[in-house]
Amino acid sequence: MAATIERTGEHLRRIFSEFSESELIERLSANQCDLPQRFPAGSKVNGETLDKRWSRLPTGVRAALEEEDPAAYAANIENFIGTIRLPVGIAGPLRVNGIFAKGDFSIPLATTEAALVASYHRGACVLSAAGGCSAAVLNEGVNRSPAFGFGSLAEAGKFVAWVVDQVDVFRDIVRENTDHGKLVDVAATLEGNHVYLNFEFRTGDAAGQNMVTICTEAICAFIREGSPVEIKKHYVEGNLSGDKKASAQAFTTVRGKKVCAEAVLSPELVQKFLGTTPEKMTDYWQMSALGGVLSGTIGVQGHFANGLTALYLACGQDPACVAESAIGVTRFEVIDDGSLYASVTLPGIMVGTVGGGTGLPTQAACLEILGLRGSGKSPALAEVCAGLLLAGELSIIGALAAGHFTRAHQRLARQRKSSQS
């Protein structure tokens, strides 16, 4: 929503009361005097390079960031200076009755937000008391969408006709570049004399972002050599894939793993654990769903990003992928016997149990707590994510429906902090 002219004017008047026009021009102008030295960059992690980097930083905080085994992080960072520490709490155990995740899971969550773990823990407890949630991975795939420019629409069309006949060749190229990935589909979108190809891959137990990029670059090399028409320009990613951003496209395709979780809670359990009723929770959900529509959100849900970010940080996932993973739909209904039916559907959970940050010391330990470290475990991790987010939706909507939301945050965040200071 655009700012009103009154608010804009008030802001500008405040700025001009503090700075003269010449001062503002000086502050906002490029300044190439006394440019700082470049930070000692690189991927080396050893005592000499660390000393060199810390010579440029406030040394009083070095001890707080130092790591006993810096070499363990060498493959995951550049310009390394140390590690940060986040508090980790456990939610659960959460019982998940999934296709791949079957059992009771103690879920590590890393966060600085008081009340977050307590909320997800409460939701996990009510789900487990109900016998657990059902969860299923419905689809999976990771895509990369290179873009190509041509001289005309006719040339773009001829290019697409040629691409259709090359899909088996593309699959062979992928097999030559990875032992774990597989090309499963190719789609084409024409926009004038531009063509976007959308390559969809299976990536095994890795999240697979780097894998699909390397394979797509190899396919593009073949395309550049063999295209029947001149390619004026091309890019390995044309921003059609939805990589690390929320998009409506997520609901019609898949990026990562599409997962659904559901549960039925009796009125007695809702009252015991959440302090409210299925009817009140459904009433709140209906009003909040319309609020989401009015605000233009992609999907309808309460706070998927909260639990997902905390789990991603704890378990070595790429936290930037929360931008695309934390969209989806929460749905509540009162069913015939008066119980609450609750479900979440997430079209693009990006998770892996090998590669990336999953091998870092503390992140590997958190995956061990879950029992989901290593090959063959990524579908189960996705189902646990869905169960966790269902727990979080039940807890937050229960708190809002019961009028406890503000009180809980005051008790667990503000008042506790002030009593300890």
| Angstrom distances, CA of residue 116 to CA of 46, 87, 405 | 37, 12, 12
Six-digit token pair at 131?
A: 């016998």
Nearest residue to 110 via CA among 133, 94, 87: 87
The one-letter amino acid code at 81 reads I
Q: Which distant-in-sequence residues (6+ apart) come within 8 Å of 290 by Cβ?
A: none
Contact 124, 244 (CB under 8 A): no
Which two three-digit tokens encode residue 188?
A: 């084409």
DSSP letters spanning 61-100: GHHHH--S-GGGGGGG-SS--------EEEEEEEEEEESS
Helix axes 361-370, 304-314, angle to 10 degrees: 120
Backbone angles phi, psi at 343, to 5 degrees: -145, 155
Catalytic residue among 113, 279, 283, 333: 113
- Is 113 among the residues known to form the active site? yes
User: Annotated catalytic, 21?
Assistant: no
Mapping DSSP to helix (H, G, I), strand (E, B) and coil, where does residue 39 land? Answer: coil
The answer to whether the Cα torsion of 97, 101, 102, 106 is positive or negative is negative
Query: Which residues, 6+ apart, have CB-to-CB distance to 63 below 8 Å?
Result: none
| Cis ω before 347 (30° cut-off from 0) | no
Please compute Rg for the chain using Cα positions. 25
Active site residue 225: no
* Candidate list 67, 237, 283, 318, residue with the active-site label: 318
21 CB-contact burial (10 Å; exposed 0-12 / middle 13-18 / buried 19+): exposed
Q: Angle at the Cα of 321 (from 65 to 373), degrees rounded to 5?
A: 70
- For tokens 């991927």, the residue is 43
Single-letter amino acid, residue 379: P
Of these residues, 180, 194, 404, 409, which one is catalytic?
409
Handedness of CA 384, 389, 394, 398 (dihedral sign): positive
* Residues noted as catalytic: 113, 318, 409
